[in-house]
Amino acid sequence: MTKHRKISKFLSYVLRHNPGKIGIQLDEAGWVPVNELVDQSRKHGMRFTKEDIKEVIRQSDKTRFIFSNDDRYIRATYGHSVPAELGYEPTEPPQWLYHGTAERNIESIRQSGIQPQNRQFVHLSVDKQTATQVGQRHGKPVVLTISAKTMYNDGHTFYRSDAGIWLTKQVPPSYISRQTER
């Protein structure tokens, strides 16, 4: 694994799931001072600089992390299991969004819809190709099509993250179809 990929995985873990692992706390919106993150990471065996983090962001096709305007704070843009009020505005989604999952989850999703599982939100992609990649992380990928606009019109709330990934609390079965050719 490249150095920057390793840093990216480490930051995802700490900033989304377990800040306590390196003795830091996220504020209520998920932010942490960059200096503190770098110092505490070093004390726990992960050595990198602020510039390394910028390189991680530049190299990735996903904006997983973002700096505050004054450059002093950083947070994950999505994916949290720990509480974080990200402050994204409720936004009208496109007509269709996509969710990549593994074949073995399909029966359960058919019964209970797409649930956030360990995370705060269900994560949805704007294109099928990205959804396929997301699904591949779990097994044989299946892409589900979500009638996002209809869901929205029915009163469900959607947020567009700073990474362009869409977030919603859960997707009931009636808005999900497996037929992906539209």
CB 125 within 8 A of CB 88: no
Which residue number, 4 or 62, has a Cβ lying nearer to ligand HQG?
A: 62
Smallest distance from the beta carbon of 16 to ligand HQG, in angstroms?
8
Smallest distance from the beta carbon of 92 to ligand HQG, in angstroms?
20
Q: Are strands 166-168 and 32-33 parallel, antiparallel or unpaired?
A: unpaired
Q: Which among 34, 116, 117, 119 is positioned nearest to 82, based on CA atoms?
A: 119
Q: How far is 83 from 13, CA to CA, in rounded Å?
A: 14
Which residue number, 39 or 66, has a Cβ lying nearer to ligand HQG?
A: 66
Smallest distance from the beta carbon of 69 to ligand HQG, in angstroms?
23
Element spanning 141, H or E: strand 141-147
Which residue number, 64 or 160, has a Cβ lying nearer to ligand HQG?
A: 64
Give the interface with ligand HQG as residue ranges (CB under 6 A): 12, 62, 64, 79, 101-102, 105, 108-109, 112, 114-115, 117-119, 123, 134, 138, 165
